[in-house]
Homo-oligomer: A and B are copies of this chain.
Amino acid sequence: MEKSGRPFSVKRTVKWGDCDPAGIIYTPRVFDYLVESLEAWFREVVGVSWMELNWEMNMGMPMVRVECDFVRAPRPDQEIEVEVRVRKLGAASVTYALTGHDGAGQHYFRATLVGCFIARPDFKPTRVPDEFRARIAAYQAACGDG
């Protein structure tokens, strides 16, 4: 469930199938959580979906770098809220800070993702479009960042 406030966040319940025989989340699934949260953020804040960005506008925003600290391992049925903030708005790239927490101060993971705008079909980096830039900067301001 997406929350319309600022910072933007997505709530999800850790699924049985997200977890491995250790009974905790399987590490790669955390990156599904992160990228899916960023996708939802992009649709709401930037105003276009990744499908529109790629198939209609002939652009894209692939990740060029990801780092993540796993503070505590989520277990099945736990509710996790993934919060998305913008740390840096560059010429072609945007640096995001995402945090997975339980809404009561317990952190599960903290990540930094760097996405770079590219033009298709050659995937060369391209400037963040002005309209997008304005919306992202407004989001930063609404979050008290930037």
Q: List residues of chain A with CB under 8 Å of any chain B CB.
A: 1, 13, 15-17, 19-24, 26-29, 31-32, 34-36, 39-40, 43, 49-51, 54-55, 60, 62-70, 73, 75-77, 120, 123
A8, chain B: closest CB distance, angstroms: 15
Can you identify 5 A-B contacts, CB atoms within 8 angstroms? A19-B21, A21-B54, A27-B63, A28-B29, A64-B70
Q: Contact at A66–B67, with CB atoms within 8 Å? A: yes
Instruction: Please classify the interface of chain A as helix (H, G, I), strand (E, B), loop, or mixed, using the class held by over half of its residues.
Output: mixed
Determine the residue in chain B with the shortest Cβ distance to A78.
B51
A67, chain B: closest CB distance, angstroms: 4
A74, chain B: closest CB distance, angstroms: 11
A19, chain B: closest CB distance, angstroms: 5
Q: Which residues of B sit under 8 angstroms from A35, Cβ to Cβ?
A: 17, 26-28
Q: Contact at A28–B31, with CB atoms within 8 Å? A: yes
Q: Which residues of B sit under 8 angstroms from A76, Cβ to Cβ?
A: 21, 49-51
Determine the residue in chain B with the shortest Cβ distance to A15.
B36
Q: Which residues of B sit under 8 angstroms from A22, Cβ to Cβ?
A: 21, 50, 54, 60, 62, 120
Q: Contact at A28–B28, with CB atoms within 8 Å? A: yes
Determine the residue in chain B with the shortest Cβ distance to A30.
B31
